[in-house]
Structure formats: C-alpha cells, structure tokens
Chains A and B, each alone.
Chain A
Amino acid sequence: MSKKVSVFRKEHFNAAHRLFNPGWDDVTNEKVFGKCALPHYHGHNYEMEVKVTGKPDKKTGYVIDLKELGDLVKREIHSRFDHKNLNLDTKEFKNLNPTAENIVVVIYKLLRPHIDKKMGLQIRLYETPRNFVEYPVN
C-alpha cells in the first residue's frame, strides 16, 4: 500500500502555569493576560494529540507502532511536564511564556528528533476542552 496515512496517539499531562512577560510591569501583564497573569498560578489538564503521517510499512502494516509512540510521548513530554509548574519547574519555560502556542512548539521540537524523518509530525494541544492549538501548520 503506497498511500499515506495519518495515525494519532493521545496523551495528557496536568500542570500549573501563569502567563507573564517579565519585561512588562504588573499592570500591563494584567491588562494583556487578565486572570492568566495572577501571581499564584492556575492550571490545566493538557491533552495532546500526536499525529504521524507516512506510508504504512510493507512488513508490519504500521505507519508507526502506536505503543512505541505512546512510550516516547510519556518519556519526552509527560515526564517533563506532568504535575509540574511550567514556569518554575521546567527548563524549557524558564525564559519562555508558557502559552499553549509556545508549549505546542516545544513539544514538537522535543519529539521530532525521535521520529523517522520520512514521517510527518503534527501536534494538537488542548489547554482546555475549548481552547486548542496546532503545530506545525500545513
């Protein structure tokens, strides 16, 4: 079979964060980020959909072994961010505002080196059931 197929693995993590630009004063941060800038943090159940696109392997019929993809996401993403404060506990967001947009790009960069270059990779990240982002854009 030579047609490309996309396969998806869902994973999740829970984390605290706040949106804050250290170059701005508190008034500007509150004006731009509203409640998301509150100093004692808030949190989310983040849900990830990791999409891998490629031609199914002739021998296995798999684009990628989804169990292995799940293990990779747990190792690279879940172990870094789950039950953490993104601002305080992670080196990735020490100097990067942990918006959903920035988080999805970080997740992509962490996963990309571990997935065959022939395969496409796209991440969708839900910050809440109603707010979600995707990277990269097709």
Chain B
Amino acid sequence: MVYLTRLEHFNAAHKLYNPAWTPEKNDEVFGPCANENWHGHNYELFVTIKGQPDPDTGFIYDVKQLSVLIREKVIEKVDHRNLNLDVEFMQGKICSTENLAVGIWNELKQNLPLGIQLHCIKLYETPRIYVEYFGEQNA
C-alpha cells in the first residue's frame, strides 16, 4: 500500500459558537473564538489517498486530477468564505477544525472514483494547530 498526499490551501472566516448556549456561556467555552463579528485563518489542507500504484502509469491516482477534485469539491466552496454563513456542508455544525475536517472528508469521499481510498484529512488551522481524520474505521 502506498500513500499519496496533495496539499491545498484556503482562507476563511469563522467563529466558534453554539446557538443553544447563551452568549456568556459561549464566551466562557470558546473565548475570543466566539467573537460575534468573526475572525479567520489560513487553512492548509493535506488530503491523503492510498492504494497500489497502477502497473501502467505507476500512479495510485493522477495527482493533478486529485488537485482538481479537491479544488472543485472543497476549495471553491470554502475559500474566502465565511464557514458559518456561506458553506452548505457546515450548516448546523460548530465550525471547529475537527468538524471542518470531517465535513471535507465527506465531500471528497463521495466524489472519489471507485477504487481510490481516502486515508486521511489533515487540516491546519494555524501553523501550530492541526487535526487529522481517518474516517470511521468500522463504518
């Protein structure tokens, strides 16, 4: 098994806010991340797929095609957007890095060609904070 990773990036605004809580409770839990007028990040997205290299091409999957897919299915929807207001796949969810990584996994998983296995979404929110999601192992 070989793992292939493509790195893409996007910039977005968001806030961490649970609408079921009072503003005071949100402030207590999320601190400055709950600022009502948003803040933002440069996100770096690492998408890793896995498989056996094709004997004819030596590729698991054409990495250019992978880049086009990530741009069409994810970057176009989130880049220079407000994650809370503008992104359909985050509606009704708290826009944490954890939930965003799972949302990106779901967007890509359903659009990858048959036989291409998604292995990991690694998402940097800042140069010092990132999350990894490997899908649901038993799903």
Which chain A residues have a beta carbon within 8 Å of chain B's beta carbons? 12, 14-17, 35-36, 38, 40-45, 47, 82-85, 88-89, 128-129
Contact A43 B35 (CB under 8 A): no
In the complex with contacts A14-B126, A36-B80, A38-B81, A44-B37 CB distance below 8 A: no
Chain B residues with Cβ below 8 Å from A16 are: 13, 37-40
> Does B42 sit within 8 A of A, measured CB to CB?
yes
Contact A85 B81 (CB under 8 A): no
B4 to chain A, nearest CB (A): 22
In the complex with contacts A14-B39, A16-B38, A84-B37, A42-B85 CB distance below 8 A: no
> Does B131 sit within 8 A of A, measured CB to CB?
no
Please give me the 9 A-B residue pairs with the lowest Cβ-Cβ distance, nearest first. Answer: A43-B40, A83-B32, A40-B82, A35-B80, A85-B37, A16-B13, A16-B38, A16-B40, A41-B13
* Known contacts A40-B85, A41-B13, A83-B32, then 8 further A-B pairs from the complex at CB < 8 Å, ordered by chain A residue: A14-B40, A16-B13, A42-B12, A42-B13, A43-B39, A47-B127, A85-B39, A128-B42
Contact A129 B42 (CB under 8 A): yes
Which of B41, B86, B127 is the one whose CB lies under 8 Å from A43? B41
Which chain B residues have a beta carbon within 8 Å of chain A's beta carbons? 9, 11-14, 31-33, 35, 37-42, 79-82, 85-86, 126-127
Contact B81 A15 (CB under 8 A): no
Cross-chain pair count, CB within 8 angstroms: 77
Name the residue on B nearest A42 (C-beta). B80
Contact B41 A83 (CB under 8 A): no
Q: How far apart are the CA atoms of A88 and B32 in the complex, in Å? A: 15
Q: How far apart are the CA atoms of A71 and B35 in the complex, in Å? A: 23
| 20 A-B pairs in the complex with CB atoms less than 8 angstroms apart | A14-B126, A15-B40, A16-B13, A16-B37, A40-B82, A40-B85, A42-B40, A42-B82, A43-B11, A43-B13, A43-B41, A44-B42, A45-B41, A47-B127, A83-B32, A84-B39, A85-B13, A85-B35, A128-B9, A128-B11
Q: How far apart are the CA atoms of A17 and B11 in the complex, in Å? A: 11
Name the residue on A nearest B11 (C-beta). A42
Chain A residues with Cβ below 8 Å from B38 are: 16, 41, 43, 85
Chain B residues with Cβ below 8 Å from A14 are: 39-41, 126
Q: How far apart are the CA atoms of A30 and B86 in the complex, in Å? A: 17
Contact A40 B35 (CB under 8 A): no
